[in-house]
Amino acid sequence: MRNKLFSLMAVLMVAVCAVAQTSLKGRVIDESSQEPVVGAKVTLANQNISTTTNAAGEFTLLYLEATDEEVIIEAEGYMAGLELINLKENQLNQMDAIRLQQNIVTQAQDEILLNLTEEEMSDDEGRSQQQASSSSASTDVFNANTSFAWSTARYRNRGYQSYAESYYIEGLNFTSQERGQFNYSAMGGLNDASRYKEVLNPLEATNFSFGGLGQSTNYLMGASRYAQGWKVGAAGTNRNYKARINATYASGVLPNGWAFIGQLAYRFSPYVDNKGIIGEGIKYYSLGYFFSAEKIWDNARLKLITFGAPTERGQNAAVTQEVYDLTGSNNYNPYWGYQNGKVRNSRIVKSYDPSLIAAYEHKFNEKHWLKVAAGYHYSMYSNSALTFYNAPDPRPDYYRNLPSFLWDGQIANPNNENSAGQLFDDNGNHYPWGLFIGEDMKGTNLGSGFIGADGNLVGPSVDQTQYDALVQLWQSRDNKTTQIDWDNIYAANLANNYTDPNGSARYMLERRHNDLQELMASVNYVNTAFDHLKMTVGAELKYSQGIHYKTIDDLLGGNQWIDIDAFADRDIKELATNSGFTQEDISNVRKNEIADDYNNVIKADGRHFGYDYRINMQKANIWFQNEWTFNEVDLYYAIAFNYSSMQRTTNMLNGRAWYLTKVAEERTGADAWKYYGHTAYNQIKALEAAGKLKAGSTYVGDIHTFLDPAFKLGANYKINGRNHLKLNALAETRAPFARDAYISQRVHDRVVDNIYTHDKAKSLVDFYAASERVVSADLTYEFNYPIVRGRVTGFFTQSWNGTELNGYYDDEARTFVNQAMTGIDKRYMGIEAALAVKMGTYFTLTGVTSIGDYRYTSDATAIQSAENGMPMTQNLATQELVFETMDKVLLKGLKLSTGPQLNASLKLSFFHPKMWFADVTVSYHDWNYLSVAPSRRMQGLYTGRRLDGTSVNGWFGDSYANAIQTTDNTPLDVTFDADGNPTYNNAVLDENGVPVLKYPYNIMTMQESLAATNPLNRFLIDASVGKLIYLPNRQSVSINLSVTNLTNNTHFKTGGYQQARLPRAVRQGEKDYRNSVITANAWKYPSKYYYAWGANFFLTVTYKF
């Protein structure tokens, strides 16, 4: 009784206090369903005070100035609302229910965006399109108008790679520790699961994590957010899948405090047997589910969430300009072919990310609350790939299968590169570097061929008829020429069953599994006990395990697969010689499991082969943040400490690791342990000595641990209620991702050298030898008037000491090479601006732009090593074989290939109170650059000598190529200092100090702009129209049609990469260890490009009842 009395008195006192000062109370509801809108942001424009609505859609603002005020209400998936109110002094001002209207356009766009990013997930080869930044936020005029509109162009916020962004679900970190990406396929098609989210701009204070360099997104999936009722929908599109159906039921908050929601979404497309259209040769099946239950008590709530989307879908690939020209389509897909007359794609992704989350929030009182969450996530991701052994390469677009291979010169008029004689495509795009269909290749026309430096002719290799015949086959999309020849592949295997029944199938479809399981927890405590101060303390724990192995998907008629490494098998003679062993002695080298009891025979029975390793990663993070709010200024700072570790374990004892260890032992023995790690090395040596090596054993590599601090701060100066000036800054170190840390993680445990330096560090400098260091700052001016609102932001970010890993076939070493680059510095600077102007009752005109300059600011140091253990070169002076070469990669000044750096768009939106929506957006994108192959920018290629002093066989300045421009037209004169750094005595240097190459050699190293030659083709136009129809009994139907790339611009390159290989020919008559020369055929390994889809639509119909 005393307690009740006390409570009553407390309530009365609060009420009295509230009444005694100026305050505002209100409720936000959905216009259609009348259900409360949870999490809506309510802002008083003049006083710049804001809050969010609770589970009942209610909000309260205290300590206000009595004045006329504009109340702005913004919520995800709704049109922003604006209400005017005259706040009476010392009163509790009560507003009528504020009704928000759903914005079906942004809802549909969010869904399209989610699907787009899901499809761009990189494969295990790490080769994929740049992911578009996908998080949108309706409260920020810049983000709201760029995330969808610029996604087609693969725009990335501030040019950051995807790892700069953080993704959370209910406060749990869902960004992969291994790759630094968020797996969108986990939520494929689940538009309701991903509907509610907090999105925070880079560097700003966050309330669910420390945040980071890029945007931070926290998906909120509590069931109480969803209005009661059914929602069923259907969608049709001409994208990779063709249709989607979905159904959602939400209970709303029941009287007992429970709320439930469940969604099923099914997206599908059978194989598309139609060449030249979007999604050709692709199938798509995905069933998504999302269930969430939430229990609400007075001071607490518990959320239980699960979701996943088993998906099976075909993939497509980047192609060269030649293929694009020949097929005349940006939709050509080389991954598929006909099998007995039916379409089959060789690259099928299977993904399924079951996730389970439990989140608990407890509000001790108005000034203390706690959030705790735990989750488990298992990401099953695999893709199939056609592989072959001792058989012809089956890829239709393999360079030897293209017409260009028959034309060594591939130049129309090379001696006059600026002449009018050059070719143009049907769009007027100019090809300044290489043509495929040009001059008559019969001898009489050889005069137009390229005259090499030695006066000899580089010309055709076949006659015109042969060339034309192949061109015609490509242009007509001949099945056997332009697609995978499944029938022939089967024939090869079936024939092999007769001639070599116990041998390896010649072809098979393997499945590369890259699973990831994550166990995570977070705790977040907020204290507002002190005036003006909000203190947040958080901690995150995360254990991740990357699981990588291969299985056989389909033997394609073959009897079995013999699991050996093709490169090691090919070079075993040389490998044996190099190590001083016989082939028999090192027969293990080609095995992927040297203790294999099955003699490496693999059937399609799910057994792992090729490689089978795990990367164990742990992460612990504590952070705290203080935010002060005053009338004129808000201040904050935050500090975090990140502990992380990585460790590789393998279930297969790889023959190349075994071989490299042997070689190392033969030499000094000092580094032999690196290929296994200390413990595993001793274990393996002991077992080997005892003859007890056993297949399937697990070998545990070394643990590498990192401790990285981060600090950020910011200030928001309120010039007045409508004009703000914000300054934010961040400094942090960042441990390398596991994907970049291991030089050849499929084979052995060896990490990049600076991690070893870090591991045995005795100084602070050494301790951070492997970590990337980042500083960043931005300055924003933001304004918000009834008619006009917008912002302008300038930002600057510099990072140092980044690490990247590449793999490629090296024609000088004649084998597959892993390249570990360290010491990479990058700079990102630019301006973002957005302006939205209300034009009368119905129209809003919005202009946004982002102008950036994202580039490398240093060269990198790279270590190259052959994956099969081959020596990279030989020291001609000592005759010693060199297994790892070190060289400088000349990256300085090159642009980062993270999407267009110049973007601008103008959007006209229409909204009619009778719930008609429409908008049209015109976007311009420029300054987009090709990803340069580091292997083509090695210092040794310009000097003939690597940083480590070894010689390069076949380089730009040698007497064969003579490709370096010199000031006196004499051969290159270069000298070296003691560290191996060159001084060019007579070379013409570019602004970054790199020697300028003569035409056409310059084509091999230059960074190409991806912007269309014709400026008109740099524009993209999108449009959408929608209608929301209210029906009786709180029912509604919404229809939305969104058309992207309305003008069907098929010349828009979204990204691409330079192939790593350089054209080389064997130099005869020499007895060097390697004998090659870089030829003038600069087009032999052309760049590959991704193109934007042409016109595509997305039509959705949703019925709520």
Partner 1 sequence: MKTSKYLSYIVLSTFVLALVSCEPDPLKSEDVFITEAQVAEITADGKVYDLNEFLDTFMTEEGTYHNDTTPYRERSYDATHGLYLYSVDTLPQAGPGIYIRGRICTDDYAGNFYKAMVIQQIVNGEQQTLRISVDLGSSGGMYHMGQEILVRCNGLAVGRYANQPQLCVPSYNNNIYAMNASQKVGWCPGRINSSEFRRATRMIGTPDPDKLQYDELTLAELYAQVPQKPTTDAAGMDKVRKADGRLVRIKGVHFTGEFDNNGTLAKCDTLHPDSSSNANVFAPTTSNIGYPQSRLISDGSKSIMCSSSEYAKFAYYYLPGADRHGVTECANWEGTVTGILGWYLDKASDLASNKLDGYEWSVTPRGIPGIGIEDVKMYYQGDTDRPWKPEEFNPNDYQ
Restricting to residues 396-415, which ones interact with partner 1 according to CB under 8 A?
396, 400-401, 405-406, 408
Residue 584 Cβ, how far from partner 1 at the closest point, in Å? Answer: 7
Handedness of CA 201, 207, 211, 216 (dihedral sign): negative
- Residues near 602 by beta carbon (within 8 Å), at least 6 away in sequence: 552, 560, 561, 562, 563, 609
Residue 342 binds partner 1 (CB under 8 A): yes
Handedness of CA 962, 963, 966, 968 (dihedral sign): positive
Residue 442 Cβ, how far from partner 1 at the closest point, in Å? Answer: 7
Q: Are β-strands 92-94 and 58-61 bridged in parallel, bridged antiparallel, or unpaired? A: unpaired
Neighbours of 85 (CB within 10 A): 17
Residue 869 binds partner 1 (CB under 8 A): no
Task: Enumerate residues 965-984 that contact partner 1 by CB under 8 A.
Answer: none
Element (H, E) at 729: strand 723-734
Residue 1021 Cβ, how far from partner 1 at the closest point, in Å? Answer: 33
Residue 481 binds partner 1 (CB under 8 A): yes
Between CA 916 and CA 909 the distance in angstroms is: 11
Residue 282 Cβ, how far from partner 1 at the closest point, in Å? Answer: 12
Which of 499, 763, 969, 1033 is the binder for partner 1 (CB under 8 A)? 499
Residue 457 Cβ, how far from partner 1 at the closest point, in Å? Answer: 6
Residue 1031 binds partner 1 (CB under 8 A): no
Between CA 148 and CA 1045 the distance in angstroms is: 12
Instruction: Compare residues 69 and 322 and give the one whose CB is closer to partner 1.
Output: 322
Instruction: Compare residues 354 and 893 and give the one whose CB is closer to partner 1.
Output: 354
Residue 585 Cβ, how far from partner 1 at the closest point, in Å? Answer: 9
Residue 662 binds partner 1 (CB under 8 A): no
The dihedral region occupied by 193, where left means phi > 0, alpha psi between -120 and 50, and beta the remainder, is alpha
Residue 663 binds partner 1 (CB under 8 A): no
Measured CA to CA in angstroms, residue 830 lies from 201, 796, 853, 901 at distances of 15, 7, 6, 9
Contact 168, 218 (CB under 8 A): yes
Q: Name the one range near partner 1 by CB under 8 A: 65-73, 414-422, 495-503, 1086-1094.
A: 495-503
Kindly calculate the radius of gyration of the chain based on its CA atoms and give it in whole angstroms. 31
Contact 659, 586 (CB under 8 A): yes
* Range list of β-strands (E), 785-896: 788-810, 815-839, 843-856, 860-866, 873-874, 881-882, 884-889
Residue 1046 binds partner 1 (CB under 8 A): no
Instruction: Compare residues 120 and 408 and give the one whose CB is closer to partner 1.
Output: 408
Residue 1039 binds partner 1 (CB under 8 A): no
Q: Name the one range near partner 1 by CB under 8 A: 168-176, 455-463, 623-631, 798-806.
A: 455-463
Residue 89 binds partner 1 (CB under 8 A): no
Q: Is 193 exposed, middle or buried (0-12, 13-18, 19+ CB in 10 A)?
A: buried
Handedness of CA 801, 807, 808, 814 (dihedral sign): positive
By rule CB under 8 A, what string of x and - marks binding of each residue 112-151 to partner 1?
A: ----------------------------------------
Q: Name the one range near partner 1 by CB under 8 A: 451-459, 671-679, 778-786, 832-840.
A: 451-459
Task: Enumerate residues 268-297 that contact partner 1 by CB under 8 A.
Answer: 268, 270, 283, 285, 287
Residue 491 binds partner 1 (CB under 8 A): yes
Of residues 780, 779, 782, the one with CA closest to residue 720: 782
* Preceding omega of 1000 cis (within 30 degrees of 0): yes
Residue 4 binds partner 1 (CB under 8 A): no
Residue 760 binds partner 1 (CB under 8 A): no
Buried b (16+ CB within 10 A) or exposed e, 846-857: bbbbbebbbbbb
Residue 584 binds partner 1 (CB under 8 A): yes
Contact 556, 490 (CB under 8 A): yes
Residue 1058 Cβ, how far from partner 1 at the closest point, in Å? Answer: 24
Task: Enumerate residues 529-558 that contact partner 1 by CB under 8 A.
Answer: 554, 556-557
Task: Enumerate residues 795-854 that contact partner 1 by CB under 8 A.
Answer: 814
The dihedral region occupied by 498, where left means phi > 0, alpha psi between -120 and 50, and beta the remainder, is alpha
Residue with tokens 């239950």, as numbered in its chain: 293
Residue 495 binds partner 1 (CB under 8 A): yes
Buried b (16+ CB within 10 A) or exposed e, 616-646: bbbbebbbbbbbbbeeeebbbbbebebebbb
The dihedral region occupied by 927, where left means phi > 0, alpha psi between -120 and 50, and beta the remainder, is left
Task: Enumerate residues 197-236 that contact partner 1 by CB under 8 A.
Answer: 230, 232
Residue 669 binds partner 1 (CB under 8 A): no
Residue 935 Cβ, how far from partner 1 at the closest point, in Å? Answer: 19
Residue 1075 binds partner 1 (CB under 8 A): yes
Reading the block at residue 467, the tokens are 């060339």
Amino acid 353 reads: D
Reading the block at residue 75, the tokens are 């919520």
Residue 492 binds partner 1 (CB under 8 A): yes
Reading the block at residue 232, the tokens are 């069923």
Contact 291, 305 (CB under 8 A): yes
Residue 1001 Cβ, how far from partner 1 at the closest point, in Å? Answer: 15
Instruction: Compare residues 299 and 465 and give the one whose CB is closer to partner 1.
Output: 465
Q: Is 481 helix (H, G, I), strand (E, B) or coil?
A: helix
Residue 993 binds partner 1 (CB under 8 A): no
Q: Name the one range near partner 1 by CB under 8 A: 145-153, 476-484, 675-683, 818-826.
A: 476-484
Q: Name the one range near partner 1 by CB under 8 A: 375-383, 421-429, 465-473, 923-931.
A: 465-473
Chain centroid to Cα 1002, Å, comes to 29
Q: Name the one range near partner 1 by CB under 8 A: 67-75, 335-343, 414-422, 1046-1054.
A: 335-343
Q: Is 277 helix (H, G, I), strand (E, B) or coil?
A: coil
Handedness of CA 796, 799, 804, 810 (dihedral sign): positive
Task: Enumerate residues 305-324 that contact partner 1 by CB under 8 A.
Answer: 312
Residue 300 Cβ, how far from partner 1 at the closest point, in Å? Answer: 32
Instruction: Compare residues 392 and 847 and give the one whose CB is closer to partner 1.
Output: 392
Residue 962 binds partner 1 (CB under 8 A): no
# chain residues binding partner 1, by CB under 8 A: 99
Instruction: Compare residues 581 and 816 and give the one whose CB is closer to partner 1.
Output: 581
Task: Enumerate residues 556-575 that contact partner 1 by CB under 8 A.
Answer: 556-557, 570, 573-574
Q: Is 915 helix (H, G, I), strand (E, B) or coil?
A: coil
Q: Name the one range near partner 1 by CB under 8 A: 161-169, 660-668, 799-807, 1071-1079.
A: 1071-1079
Which of 427, 488, 527, 857 is the binder for partner 1 (CB under 8 A)? 488
Which of 134, 329, 496, 1036 is the binder for partner 1 (CB under 8 A)? 496
Residue 1069 binds partner 1 (CB under 8 A): yes
Q: Which residue intervals of 921-1038 are DSSP H helices?
A: 939-943, 1002-1005
Instruction: Compare residues 316 and 644 and give the one whose CB is closer to partner 1.
Output: 316
Torsion angle (degrees, nearest 10) of CA 515, 393, 318, 269: -60
Which of 82, 358, 370, 446 is the binder for partner 1 (CB under 8 A)? 446
Q: Name the one range near partner 1 by CB under 8 A: 422-430, 458-466, 537-545, 688-696.
A: 458-466
- Concatenated DSSP letters for 409-453? S--SSGGGTTSTTS-B-TT--B--S--SS-S--SGGGGGGSEEPT
Residue 612 binds partner 1 (CB under 8 A): no
Residue 956 binds partner 1 (CB under 8 A): no
Residue 601 binds partner 1 (CB under 8 A): no
Q: Is 340 helix (H, G, I), strand (E, B) or coil?
A: coil
